[in-house]
Amino acid sequence: MKQILFTCFMMVMCALLWTWQIEGNTQNIALERAKNAVNRAAHGASLQIDKLSLSNGKLVFDRTQALNAFTDILSKNMQLDSSLKALPDTLFQGQVQIVYEDYVDDSNVVARYGSGFDDGAKLYQYHSTDFNLEQLIYGPSVIYVIKVQKPLQINSSTDQFYYVGSIYEYPSY
């Protein structure tokens, strides 16, 4: 009888520990995958440059194309539909939102920092108070932050979110 009670107690304790462990691991995977997806999407967005401006020696991002590329690659990597809603039976749940979008390029760097990227090797401190973003950038960059619901297995509350951001420079600068 003593052993049976002890085993039952162990089973309950272990079930609780496993639940906690699986919950933690799922959060871990979700955050890692979301970060990688945002990085790849921002990388794709950073390649969308305006060719007309480039022929004038200016590197300016094509905002519309960049956002399209970002959305497209994000949905491919996070298994979302075209409106950024998670597909059924996948890791993520609910709607993914792009909550922050910014571009630093030749069209606005002088207005922001007082000098252009062509004025010698310089570092620029990108700063945004909205999401506490802080990053040193060397060249034209795209900045995105997405908001994604935490894939909680146990807690049914749906108002817990990850804010995942990425600052990506134009690769060949």
Residues forming the site for another protein (CB under 8 A): 3-4, 6-7, 10-11, 14, 17-18, 21-22, 25, 28-29, 32-33, 36-37, 39-40, 43-44, 47, 69, 73, 76-77, 171-172
**What does 59-97 look like in DSSP terms, one character per residue?**
--B-HHHHHHHHHHHHHHHHTB-TTSBBPTTSS--SB-E
Q: At 165, list the tokens.
A: 């951001």
Q: Which is nearer to another protein, 14 or 52 (CB)?
A: 14
Q: Which is nearer to another protein, 37 or 164 (CB)?
A: 37
| Shortest Å distance, C-beta 160 to another protein | 21
Q: Which is nearer to another protein, 60 or 66 (CB)?
A: 66
Phi, psi of 103 (to 5 degrees): -135, 135
| Shortest Å distance, C-beta 120 to another protein | 25
CA–CA separation, 18 and 153 (whole Å):
12
| Shortest Å distance, C-beta 114 to another protein | 30
| Shortest Å distance, C-beta 85 to another protein | 18
CA-wise closest residue to 162 among 100, 96, 101: 96
Please count the other Cβ atoms lying within 10 Å of the Cβ belonging to residue 26: 16
Q: Which is nearer to another protein, 51 or 157 (CB)?
A: 51
Q: Which is nearer to another protein, 25 or 158 (CB)?
A: 25
| Shortest Å distance, C-beta 8 to another protein | 10
- Residue carrying structure tokens 């908001």: 147
Number of helices (H) and strands (E) in the chain: give both, helices first. Answer: 4, 5
